[in-house]
Structure 1
């Protein structure tokens, strides 16, 4: 079953799509929140959400403020991923969802790290894709200057070509062009503000506060991140809490695994099952 809901959060309406499995009731199915990338919306999960629900998960796909079908934040475009994290917490409260799994990509990946390191609201598990624990690799000052001229007509083409450059070489050209065409629908003011949040967000000093097992994922052809830094974060986590973190490098994949990989729902379901097994394992036998 697919449900669309508008939630009033901080004086504006936020849109959430919920896909429930036919084999479980809402109260029985574990919840997984899927977070989109900078400037985009839950439409990025259109090829994944229903299939993931078919694996027994209640899939929750929000549009962050100012994205997709959500109204903009009343104070204007958001430049802090901490603010987005607070908004997501309020959305989950309104939906009555406690301790979900969260899977996010790019700023959604950084948001997943933000949520996973909040002891006051523990998660069941976290899958962080295309994101480092440290500062994002962008020129924040340049982005702030670009906001003054962000509506120029060439911006859509820059988004289109930039997306093509961020997709892995294993993706067939027609599929890559569809991904890029969908991405250039973004609001450039929102996406530039998101990237400021990406470039200034850092949870390296909070990794010890992780509330759940975590799976860090990098595309081998992702130009936005340093895969070695992602792997180092997993090593750092496991040095303090052995077995809590996994790391996967995806060959032939760029910055958007859920859009690039045709079998992503099955892969994600396996990752989620692995996280659930870690969570349920007795202390001392995490693997």
Structure 2
């Protein structure tokens, strides 16, 4: 199986990490991960798609994995993630790419489809919807929620660096220690706030909406209202699959992506 290659790109003044696999002359597919995670969630599907003749790009969203956040602040809206993914595609010169994602990545996929339908070959949104809901978690990022924990991480950086260490490097080190906890809560808050139902009519490209039937994050009504409002939607329900189809059933997801994108 073909190996992924990692690179960095400057997006909105920050270092965004992404991996690619496949020939850049082939149909490009951009795959987006779930909340608080990174592109490793696609490590089984991406090479398999490349072996089927696709050029696959798998970013770590800003603040996730090996990507740093913009101005050291996590994104708080799905639209911010979507804009960063699209900016990466433009930086890489991708023409008429397909976009796919899961969970917040599914929401990102729908957001991109609404904003850039004419420039997409297809979109595959898994475990996402036009309107998603969940617990209000942004308050968990506030120091009063878990007093001391993130502060301890910061203090450990300050106390363990030399006196000549530049302040901007201390900031970078602090993010390396505390970032995963901070982006996850903001991702889930962005999920809870996401609502583009009234804009879904603008997602005029072919869209496949995928849901695992045991995923309690996507209720029947959320799925149905998204299918109803998308102008060109192919709904798929996977039996005995939960919130992470690309990890639970990578071969099946590869087949779904290949079949759907290949028909466009």
Task: State the TM-score, normalizing by the size of structure 1.
Answer: 0.75
> Which residue matches 2:208?
215
- What's the counterpart of residue 198 of structure 2? 205
Which among 87, 91, 95 is matched to residue 90 of structure 1? 87
The reply on whether 1:47 has 2:44 as its aligned counterpart is: yes
Match in the other structure for 2:245: 257
Aligned counterpart, 2:9? 7
**Deviation string, structure 1 residues 183-202 (Cα, Å, up to 9, x no partner):** xx981211100111111111
Instruction: Decide whether the 8 Å contact of 2:106 with 2:128 is kept in 1.
Output: yes
Question: Please, which runs of 5 or more residues in structure 1 have no aligned partner?
Answer: 154-184, 277-287
Residue aligned with 1:117, SS: helix
Equivalent runs, 1:54-93 vs 2, <5 Å: 54-93=51-90
**Cα gap change, 1:120 to 1:57, in 2 (>3 Å):** closer
TM-score calculated relative to the size of structure 2: 0.81
In the alignment, is the contact (CA less than 8 A) between 1:119 and 1:211 conserved in 2?
A: no
| Alignment check: 8 A CA contact 1:227 1:249 kept | no
Question: Is the CA contact 1:30–1:57 (under 8 Å) kept in the aligned structure 2?
Answer: yes
**Aligned equivalent of 2:134:** 138
Q: Give 3-state SS (helix, strand or coil) of 1:118's partner.
A: helix
Instruction: Determine if the alignment matches structure 1 residue 272 to structure 2 residue 261.
Output: yes
Paired positions, count: 231
Question: How many Å separate the matches in 1 of 2:135 and 2:148?
Answer: 19
Are the counterparts in 2 of residues 105 and 130 from structure 1 also a CA contact under 8 Å? Answer: yes
User: Displacement of 1:150 after TM fit?
Assistant: 5.6
Given that residues 220 and 227 in structure 1 are in contact (C-alpha distance below 8 angstroms), is that contact kept between their aligned partners in structure 2?
Answer: no
* Equivalent residue runs for 1:114-193 within 5 Å: 114-119=111-116, 122-134=119-131, 136-140=132-136, 143-148=137-142, 149=145, 187-193=180-186
Cα distance between partner residues in 2 of 1:128 and 1:8: 26
Distance 1:268 1:125 in 2: 10
Quick one: distance in 1 between partners of 2:36 and 2:146? 13
Q: 1:36 is matched with which residue?
A: 33
Match of 2:19 among 17, 20, 31: 17
Q: Which has the larger radius of gyration?
A: 2
RMSD of Structure 2 on Structure 1 (CA): 2.1
- Structure 1 residue 228 displacement after superposition: 3.7
Name structure 2 gaps, 5 residues minimum.
150-177
Change (3 A) 1:80 1:89: same
* Partners of 2:123 and 2:207 within 8 A in 1: yes
**1:206-262: CA deviation from partner (whole Å, max 9, x where unpaired):** 11111310011111000111134213322333xxx4xx2110111100000000014
| SS of equivalent to 1:33 | strand
Cα distance in 1, alignment partners of residues 87 and 66 from structure 2: 17
